[in-house]
Structure 1
Amino acid sequence: MTDRATHVAVRPDYDPSADPLADPNWQEPEQPRYKLSWTRLILLLLVLGLAGAGGTFGVIHLRNTAGPTAKSWAVPYVDVTLTPTFPFQDPTANPANDVALGFVVADPKNPCRPSWGGAYTLDGAGSLLELDRRIAQLRQAGGDITLSLGGLNNSELAVACTDDTRLTSAYRQLVKRYDVRTLDLDIEGTAVADQASLQRRVAAVAAVQQEREDAGKPLAVWLTLPVSPSGLTDDGVAVVRGMLEGGVQLRGVNVMTMDFNNGEARPDMLALSTSALNGTHKQLSDLYLRLGRKLTSPQVWSRIGATPMIGQNDIDAERFTLDDAEGLARFAVDHGLGRVSMWSINRDAPCRGTFANVVVHSNTCSGVEQEALAFTKVFAGLPGKAAGGADYESVEIPDQATAVDDPKTSPYPVWRMTALYVGGYKVVWKGVVYEAKWANSGQDPAAAPPAGAQSAWSVIGPVSPVEKAPRPVPVVTDVSDPWTPGDVYRRGDRVLFGGLPYEAKWTTKDESPSTEFPIDADDPWKPLFTIPGEPKTN
């Protein structure tokens, strides 16, 4: 890399300060004006002609001596459908301000219907994963989401859905439902070269982006693409160009600095990553120049993101360590990199037991020596944030002095002091939904834990004013005898009470089945139904 500034003539009507792709935290430096002489024009045509004939070597690579002024934005990925569910909405469990939620893909049964990982419909994710509520809680705490579509597995919507109108409708549905401000298009595998799907995606995204712009709700769009140590692949560059030429206002290009597979026995992952980023910088500088946009070096850096796979990569020899993370964070600040992500926050933990000292390819641990959330904390220290983002401070909950929980409008059982809750049980307390981290009893979800201790409850989010009481689901259908006071019931006898089936755990008389959930251990009746909020058991 050189510090010398090389200038070329560009179309006179281009104004970098009005460029909608500029980083929201980046202050545009004053740009000098140049006259377009015949000599310079001929030189420029010759340079571009050489590049078109034989590659990019003939294109002048823009540089300037201005230091970076963009603030790098940290946005780690969360694998939404992975078990156990990661509580990204809880600031006590997640040090990151913003998160990228992945992955939205085509529903296997309906290629034009969006789903989460092919396993949950949008409504299913809302009820079974509490996704809508958790997103609302993250935003209430000052953070935000980036919605990530695609990924390596399953079929991305534009690949599976060949109906242009229905594809646009699917993107529109996603953006509207989650009030998306930033969209991440993760294009991998054969999708990178699938020309038909690329054209469909460009048209659909451009249409939805324009609709949001017209509505006063701008939609930022990132491309996430594979990368080699020398930069983007030829197909990757073509994807970026197609987006720009198709009218999509790209916020940036996020490159996956992972799985380089360069054959080295002990590869230097930081060096490979920075090499890939430098290569991408040159490619984007050249591409924007070809499209008539003169960008300074800091402007280009602000349009580049990096996503390492923390810890053990898919390639056995490749391990991205905490030292590598700290080095990448320094690189991001020094160069004004627009974004730093990581795959994934679910993996940001040490591997335990027999897996601690071997090569482990895990979705729930990193495979390297670390403290829990150590990688997230490194990148969370980056100074930037998303456009329009707020500072991430604390969870906002309703006024505890006035909040009253009504069982008729609470989507889960109201918390009880005497009940025993197992890990994963959800309750409502003082207008907020909580989930038990582990088995506990008598620990007020809304109360601050003692000094040095953690709360036994994770905050899921506020209760919506339109929600209703949980509807129990019977697991048997052959119970018809109502419970009757005065009758003696022995172990195994089944009755209906309040329209729901119960089974006697021991001999009992004049003890009606409980309607408070969870059922206490000393209650003589076992419910033969499930209610929302109970964790699933095998």
Structure 2
Amino acid sequence: MARKKGVEAAVASAPAASATERAQAPEADSGRRLSPWRVIGAGLVAVIVVTGGVVGFQWWSAKAAVDQKPWFASYVDVTATPRFAFENLGTTTTKDAVLSFVVSSKDEACEPSWGAAYSLDEARGSLDLDRRIARLQQQGGTVAVSFGGLNNDELAVNCDDPSKLKAAYASVVDRYKIGTIDLDLEGEGLQDADANARRATAIAALQKERRADGKSLAVWLTLPVAPSGMTSAGTDAITAMLDAKVDIAGVNVMTMDFGSSKEAKKSMAQNAEAAVTAAQRQLGILYDRAKLHQSDPSLWAKVGATPMIGQNDVEDEVFTFADAAAFNKWAVSTGIGRMSMWSANRDKTCGSNYVDTSVVSDACSGVSQGKKTFAATLAKGFDGHISLGEAAVTTAEPVATAAADDPATSPYPIWKTSSSYLKGTKIVWHRNVYQAKWWTKGDMPDDPVLNSWETPWELVGPVLPGETPIPQPTLPAGTYPNWSGTAAYDKGQRVLFDGTPYEAKWWTQGDSPEAASADPDSSPWSPLTQDELDKLAGGSS
């Protein structure tokens, strides 16, 4: 996604259907209505279930799609700057998230990475991703992982080793213990027929393997769409999955950036409704061609939609709160199985320093939101959750009084009331990891406060099973002299005070660095940041 360019009116919909297929396909405005022939057909299928295993599985799959509650989850751009604290979604009513995007590493096509910037291990360290996922799960949230997107190579594009490709997908699924994946196919990742075939084969094998182990894997395809429907490349990607016997949970269409295909006299919501309706019709034809007929309600349950909130990439396309409310009302009444949005990172008003809101920002919506969020508006009526592939993670909050900290199993030093901590420093307290928001000493990390600004500590997430101490940077002995009240210091000189390094902001004598925490603006001393300390410990200046 992040972000799809306009789907022009010229792009084709699904390949032309035969007269029989056209007769079977639902009308554009059919909603949940069933024709008499569909009702009779459904009864025949139920009879065949008793005698036919394959057909029985097809019926079960269709029924499961209808029975699962429709769900909402925002996309989260994991590697975007500024970093979005998706773990805080656990305090909202829209806790689930689709984390994006896993793509091929720049150095190794078959190695998964986050945005081609972090390996999975690097994301655990630099982004504290594993811990933040655990924190969201503690609060009842569920995550899916999205592969692909617009800006980098989806794994199947250049990884042509079938076993390595399957292993790459599996490594992500297993690491984050997810039961739902999202394949966001755009650009070369969608146009490449060989990549489509490789991807489908690998996903089919992984899905079969997990089911043999008693686990599930819900597979969603996220594809471009115009008000007239999906592109031919999109329908080909669906066909490849069906041919490989992948049990597709659904097809999520990106109702955004319509470009010249947008009907000018209609709102963004109305164009989105037309796009989703056309996609549902096409999906029915593709299932019929694969001899996997789906009922009309089942097809709607297999359709998802993802608008781009606020300002779209196309300048005159703005998805407003009115559009969100109207589209949500239509989607709930129609019975689609999923609603998402691009993205949680953007679900807020742009600050006053962001001048031109017609230029898309990765960190704000470009429209005035007040206290409202697009997530809350779009999520109404979507009461389900992303499917879990394994045993559910406990949603119980950590109990501080019962948690004993062990240095041998703590990734960071255990907090001490006598120690001072620089901004950015991480510590462990009652089996949770906290990060200092500013210089602090003596402030208990889990001290209950009403407002976040009352504490210098931010909860990152729980200590994970199997963790061991991460080497911490230390300053070599004698790096800086201890502060002396009688010495004069010029701007830029550094000293140690209570073990913490400080730098003089201007000439000073007799001013204790201790005052820097209470009155940082007037103090001549500034504590070094954690990043500066890391560089010093690494031997750079």
- Counterpart in 2 of 1:38? none
When normalised by structure 2's length, the TM-score is 0.76
- RMSD over equivalenced CA pairs, Å: 4.3
Residues 251-303 of structure 1, C-alpha deviation per residue, up to 9 Å, x if partnerless?
11000000111366675110010001110111111221222223221110010
Q: Structure 2 CA distance, aligned partners of 1:375 and 1:306?
A: 14
What is the deviation of 1:161?
1.2
> Which residue identity is paired with 1:138?
L
* Deviation of 1:380 (Å): 3.6
Q: Cα–Cα, structure 1 residues 25 and 238, in superposed 2: closer, same or farther, change >3 Å?
A: closer
Matched residue type, 1:186? D
User: 1:177 aligned to 167, 175, 178, which one?
Assistant: 175
Aligned length: 481
Contact 1:449 1:455 survives alignment (8 Å): yes
Q: Which moved more, 1:435-444 or 1:83-92?
A: 435-444
Q: Tell whether 2:459 aligns with 1:459.
A: yes
Whether contact under 8 Å (1:71, 1:333) holds in the other structure is: no
The aligned amino acid for 2:533 is: T
Between 1:122-131 and 1:189-198, the stretch displaced more is 189-198
> Partner residue of 1:328?
327
Is the Cα–Cα contact under 8 Å of residues 184 and 223 in structure 2 kept in the other structure?
yes
C-alpha distance in 1 between matches for 2:436 and 2:407: 19
For 1:341, what is the secondary structure of its paired residue? strand
Percent identity among equivalent residues?
39
1:110 is paired with a residue of what secondary structure?
coil
SS at match of 1:427: strand
Q: Distance in 1 between matches of 2:441 and 2:495?
A: 29
CA distance in 1, matches of 2:467, 2:81: 26
1:241, CA displacement in angstroms?
1.1
Which blocks of at least 5 consecutive residues in structure 2 are unaligned?
1-28, 515-519
**Match of residue 39 from structure 1:** none
Contact 1:472 1:530 in 2 (8 A): no
Q: After superposition, where does 1:91-490 map in structure 2 within 5 Å?
A: 91=89, 94-261=92-259, 262=261, 268-355=267-354, 358-371=357-370, 374-381=373-380, 382-388=382-388, 396-407=396-407, 409-415=409-415, 424-436=424-436, 444-450=444-450, 457-473=457-473
Q: Which amino acid aligns with 2:70?
A: S
Aligned partner letter, 1:230 = S
Alignment partners' CA distance in 2, 1:232 and 1:449:
50
In the alignment, the residues of structure 1 paired with residue 125 and residue 427 of structure 2 have an alpha-carbon distance, to the nearest angstrom, of 14
Answer whether contact 1:345 1:373 (CA < 8 A) is retained: no
Secondary structure in structure 1 of the residue aligned to 2:109:
strand
For 1:360 and 1:450, locate their aligned partners in 2 and report how far apart those are by CA, in whole Å.
37
Q: Secondary structure at the match of 2:122?
A: helix
The Cα offsets for residues 43-75 of structure 1, whole Å up to 9 and x where unpaired, read as xxxxxxxxxxxxxxxxxxxxxxxxxxx632001
How big is the shift at 1:130?
0.8
**Match status 1:21 vs 2:21:** no
Q: Go from structure 1 to structure 2 and tell me whether the alpha carbon gap of 1:106 and 1:25 turns closer, same or farther (over 3 Å shift).
A: closer
Contact 1:148 / 1:186 at 8 angstroms: preserved in 2? yes
Assess, with a 3 A threshold, how the Cα gap between structure 1 residues 291 and 354 changes in structure 2: closer, same or farther: same
8 A Cα contact 2:481 2:496, kept in partner: yes
Residue equivalent to 1:46: none
TM-score by length of 1: 0.77
d(CA) in 2 for partners of 1:287 and 1:103?
A: 27
Report what 2:533 is aligned to.
Answer: 530
Q: Is the 8 A contact 2:328 2:379 kept in 1?
A: no
- The residue identity in structure 2 corresponding to 1:26 is V
How far did residue 205 of structure 1 move?
0.8
Contact 1:97–1:380 under 8 Å retained in 2: no
Kept after mapping to 2: 8 A contact 1:305/1:341:
yes
User: Whole-Å Cα distance in 2 between the matches of residues 126 and 294 of structure 1?
Assistant: 43
- For structure 1, the 5+ residue unaligned runs are 28-69, 515-519
Give the secondary structure class of the aligned counterpart of 1:76.
Answer: strand
Match of 1:35 in 2: none
The residue aligned with 1:40 is none
Query: Equivalents in 2 of 1:280, 1:263: separation in Å?
Result: 15
Matched-pair contact (CA < 8 Å) for 1:186–1:223: yes
Output the CA distance in 2 between the equivalents of 1:23 and 1:75. 22
Report if aligned partners of 1:158, 1:200 keep a CA contact under 8 Å in 2: yes
SS in 1 for 2:66: coil
Inter-CA distance 419–318: structure 2 relative to 1 (3 Å threshold) = farther
Query: CA–CA distance in 2 between the matches of 1:443 and 1:336?
Result: 50
Distance 1:436 1:108 in 2: 33
Q: Take 1:502 and 1:386, find their aligned partners in 2: how far apart are those partners?
A: 47
